[in-house]
Structure 1
Amino acid sequence: MNISTDASTDDEPTQNAAQKKLEAAALLFPELSSQLRLLSAYVTTLQESLTRVEALAEANAAGSSTLDELIGEVTNLNDLELALITRQDAAESAQQELGTMLRSAAASHQETLVHLVENFGRLDETMVAFGGRMDQGSAAVQNNIADLTRGFARIDETLVALGERLDQSNVTIQTRITDLTRGFARVDETLVALGDRLDRAIGIIAARLDALDHNMVQGFEIGRSTLWEVQAALAAQMKELPQALVDAGVGVGGGGGQSDDGVPVGEMIFPRAARDDVVTLDLAQEVGRFGLKIAEHTNAATSQVLELLPGRDLSAMGRNSPELRNLDWAPYISLSAIRVAHTLDAVERFAPRKAKVLDFGAYFGNFSIAMAHAGHQVDALDAYGGAFSGALEPFAEIMRTAGVNVIDVADVGYDLMRFGEGHYDVVLFMGAIEHVPHTPRQTLEAITRVLKRGGVLVLDTPNLGYVYNRKKFISGKTVFPPIEHQFEAEPPFFGHHREYLPDEIRWMLKRVGHEVLDERYFNYSGYGMSKLRGEHLALWRLTDEHPQLRELIFTVSRRPA
């Protein structure tokens, strides 16, 4: 291979020279062709001139042509002949030069062929030498193959020996498997026998447990009956305790075992209902008693708010009111349907149709949406952008969709100075007065100012005199939320600053010049229990007898005309 490459390199100058000569010869072909075409043209022209000369000569002989024309054509003929001779000489010269160049190129190619023949000779020698080396390599390969064959033969022998050892091992393993199978069979027999013994033992234990359970059930029934009898007897005796203490000169409450507002203290301390006495509470039925239209508006607004609650991040509301952290809002919204129904009923009774309403402290918007559904023009006011950090914005959006005008309190102020005097027919102040710090006077005066003459304020608030609050206080417990909620809050604190008694709400309304048109007390969170029994049932019935013990205070008051 190397020889062939070297020979090729040696022949390159000769080959290049021959190639260049051929290229130069090729360049002469166009010139030679051009000369030949010119010669052909001259020959044609010469033939035409000769023809005319002959014609002129015949004409001259006939006397029909002048001697001058004949002389002119002859002269022209001589010129063409000279030009033809010149072109012929040039063509012959080009032909000779081309012949010379072709012979030179042929000589160069001949030298190249000679060099190629020599190179092929050297290549043959190299191939012969390479063939010799291949023969030697083939012999070595044959030897290696022979060695491999002998190695494979030894491997075959080893594999045969290994197979024999594996056969022996398989026999041994099979023998051991047989022994294990017999052992497992014996274990199975033992387990079966043990299972039979366990079944008999379990049967004996079950029989004894049945007897024990029967005895326990009988004992429990006897104990429960005895407990109820003891509780009834104790309650009957304790019911007379307040009066007994009064008779003994100790005295409880305002006299005769009653509080100042006429509630029997003993029945709050020891509430009792019969063992089998159960009352079912129905939230839908309670809302439905206000009529079909009010129920429809209430349920629609409640459902719209509830649909937005799942997965909603309301943690921002807990910064200023820690008791709201991780609060499940769904029960609060659902049970507040009773409050919404009372509010729609009051507005229907005491306000004009299509009234202009301000929902002051609109929160989730369930009251505002219900009012809009009822055909009123509603402004919803609360801290939607500031204190709540936008947590309630989705609820503000559904209010807007319902036609409610949503206003941030930061744009108005708690003094409502943005609104002119006599701007609204109705102001709703639902579950809000207890959140007012310092004094509620300024807020009530601001509400009065924005009400039209004869406009109404609808207000509800937790009743400090709620029966469960009184029971807590008698037991020495606070009636307010845990102190850590207020203590750990970021100021300003948005929780309950003060809760009120019914006569306190009535006094404040009159103080700002209102006429109280309607005053109601009702329970609503109790509807979260589907059934009432025992202590809860007894306290519920006590609120039936004494309305001032109920959970909420609800009032409707009018600004004087």
Structure 2
Amino acid sequence: MQGYIKADAEMERAVAQVIDAFPFGGYFDPELGGHITLAQTVQRFLGPGSRILDFGAGPADKTAVLAALGYRCTAVDDLQDEWHKRGRARELILDFAEKMGIEYIQLDGGALPSAGTFDMVMLHDVLEHLHDSPRDLLNGLLERVRDGGYLFVTVPNHVNLRKRFDVLRGRTSHPQYELYYWYPGNWRGHVREYTEGDCVALAKALRLQVREVRGTHHMLCKVPRRFLRAYLAASRFVPSTRDTWSMVAQKPPGWVAKPELDDSEFRRLTGLKSWGELAH
């Protein structure tokens, strides 16, 4: 490790085990992609042996670090990103998950486990890709978390330091336009990125108790190496400019999902008399 993120010997061992088994060479650097800080966050709330559902796990690289640390992990994904469908990528992902002791459920046919099964459900770099509200998805996932369990999400910070500089220079804060233009099929990139206030509002709408919201670094790979130490130093003093928001919220006893607003709540929120006015 080069010292960008501190890791103890146990974490070093787990990361080394994942890198050794991971089938896609050069896919990630654990110090630049958030793998270590993500696992450290889980460790602050849950001990080894706890059951974790990782929704939108992709190649299960982050899930695997937790599995190597002794957590019982279930990964869920539709594996429909363009690169998942090319060559043997999907087969290699599933083989890797099995080797790491991860149960992998594909959304095109597999059923999610029953209610109250997990100690934590986590979604990392998932919510920003959704074209619709995450309300139904998250309420459904929370039903599978025990009372007192946790929701752990990480999302890109829409106003991080790198993007502020880009906007000041007249550049976009959105994904590269050519990637958007040439993407085959339905767009799978970022639709809505988050701020700290968005994270808190999400937890409130889900009727969860916020335990932690903090700025962290999960996408340092996007910063040129020659600027990395300066970037880290600048963002250390203003955590709200870091590239990612990390939120852990707890499910209270007797939790009941709120599927929609009633008419009076809707009018108070929007100032509209009815949903129909949204069309005008």
* TM-score, length basis structure 1: 0.41
Distance 2:50 2:39 in 1: 12
For residue 385 of structure 1, report the CA deviation from its aligned partner.
Answer: 7.1
Please state whether the residue corresponding to 2:54 is helix, strand or coil.
strand
Q: 1:522 to 1:410 in 2, by over 3 A?
A: same
What does residue 74 of structure 1 align with?
none
> Among residues 284, 293, 297, which one is paired with 2:10 in the alignment?
293
Letter in 2 for 1:424: F
Residue 196 (structure 2) pairs with residue 502 (structure 1)? yes
Please state whether the residue corresponding to 2:233 is helix, strand or coil.
helix
Q: 1:497 to 1:532 in 2, by over 3 A?
A: closer
Distance 1:481 1:560 in 2: 37
What does residue 401 of structure 1 align with?
99
Q: Which has the higher strand share?
A: 2
- Give the number of aligned pairs: 249
Letter in 1 for 2:116: G
For residue 338 of structure 1, report the CA deviation from its aligned partner.
Answer: 5.4
Please state whether the residue corresponding to 2:3 is helix, strand or coil.
helix
What does residue 152 of structure 2 align with?
458
For residue 336 of structure 1, report the CA deviation from its aligned partner.
Answer: 5.7
What does residue 46 of structure 2 align with?
351
Q: 1:512 to 1:384 in 2, by over 3 A?
A: same
CA RMSD across the alignment: 2.5
Distance 1:419 1:492 in 2: 28
Letter in 2 for 1:395: I
Residue 17 (structure 2) pairs with residue 309 (structure 1)? no
Q: Which has the larger radius of gyration?
A: 1
What does residue 477 of structure 1 align with?
171
Letter in 2 for 1:342: T
Q: How does 1:175-186 map to 2 (within 5 A)?
A: none
Please state whether the residue corresponding to 2:62 is helix, strand or coil.
helix
Can you list the C-alpha shifts for 1:360-381, whole angstroms capped at 9, x where unaligned? 1111211222122112221111
Can you list the C-alpha shifts for 1:329-373, whole angstroms capped at 9, x where unaligned? x2x511466522222222222124301111111112112221221
For residue 525 of structure 1, report the CA deviation from its aligned partner.
Answer: 4.2
For residue 464 of structure 1, report the CA deviation from its aligned partner.
Answer: 0.6
Can you list the C-alpha shifts for 1:228-278, whole angstroms capped at 9, x where unaligned? xxxxxxxxxxxxxxxxxxxxxxxxxxxxxxxxxxxxxxxxxxxxxxxxxxx
Can you list the C-alpha shifts for 1:298-328, whole angstroms capped at 9, x where unaligned? 23213422xx225xxxxxxxxxxxxxxxxxx
Please state whether the residue corresponding to 2:200 is helix, strand or coil.
helix
What does residue 420 of structure 1 align with?
114
For residue 286 of structure 1, report the CA deviation from its aligned partner.
Answer: 3.6
Q: 1:496 to 1:377 in 2, by over 3 A?
A: same
What does residue 238 of structure 2 align with?
546
For residue 543 of structure 1, report the CA deviation from its aligned partner.
Answer: 1.3
Q: 1:524 to 1:451 in 2, by over 3 A?
A: closer
* TM-score, length basis structure 2: 0.79
Distance 2:243 2:75 in 1: 25
For residue 502 of structure 1, report the CA deviation from its aligned partner.
Answer: 1.5
For residue 520 of structure 1, report the CA deviation from its aligned partner.
Answer: 2.4
Q: How does 1:375-454 map to 2 (within 5 A)?
A: 375-384=70-79, 388-389=84-85, 391-412=89-110, 418-454=112-148
Distance 1:302 1:553 in 2: 25
Letter in 2 for 1:403: G
Can you list the C-alpha shifts for 1:53-99, whole angstroms capped at 9, x where unaligned? xxxxxxxxxxxxxxxxxxxxxxxxxxxxxxxxxxxxxxxxxxxxxxx
For residue 295 of structure 1, report the CA deviation from its aligned partner.
Answer: 2.4
Q: How does 1:126-145 map to 2 (within 5 A)?
A: none
Distance 1:339 1:470 in 2: 21
Q: 1:508 to 1:408 in 2, by over 3 A?
A: same
Letter in 2 for 1:340: H
Distance 2:120 2:205 in 1: 19
Tell me if the contact between 1:301 and 1:366 (Cα under 8 Å) persists in the aligned partners.
yes
> Among residues 363, 366, 375, which one is paired with 2:58 in the alignment?
363
Letter in 2 for 1:550: R
Distance 1:300 1:463 in 2: 30
Letter in 2 for 1:474: L
> Among residues 164, 180, 205, which one is paired with 1:486 in the alignment?
180
Q: 1:384 to 1:393 in 2, by over 3 A?
A: farther
Please state whether the residue corresponding to 1:410 is helix, strand or coil.
coil
Letter in 2 for 1:467: L
Distance 1:546 1:521 in 2: 9
Distance 2:138 2:16 in 1: 30
Letter in 1 for 2:128: E
Q: 1:540 to 1:349 in 2, by over 3 A?
A: closer
Please state whether the residue corresponding to 2:29 is helix, strand or coil.
helix
Letter in 1 for 2:140: A
Can you list the C-alpha shifts for 1:154-204, whole angstroms capped at 9, x where unaligned? xxxxxxxxxxxxxxxxxxxxxxxxxxxxxxxxxxxxxxxxxxxxxxxxxxx
What does residue 560 of structure 1 align with?
252
Percent identity, please: 19
Distance 1:410 1:384 in 2: 9
Which sections of structure 2, spanning at least 5 residues, go unmatched? 254-280
Can you list the C-alpha shifts for 1:459-506, whole angstroms capped at 9, x where unaligned? 112111111111222233210013343333333221111111111112
Distance 1:496 1:372 in 2: 28
Please state whether the residue corresponding to 2:183 is helix, strand or coil.
coil
Distance 2:45 2:145 in 1: 14
Q: 1:507 to 1:293 in 2, by over 3 A?
A: same
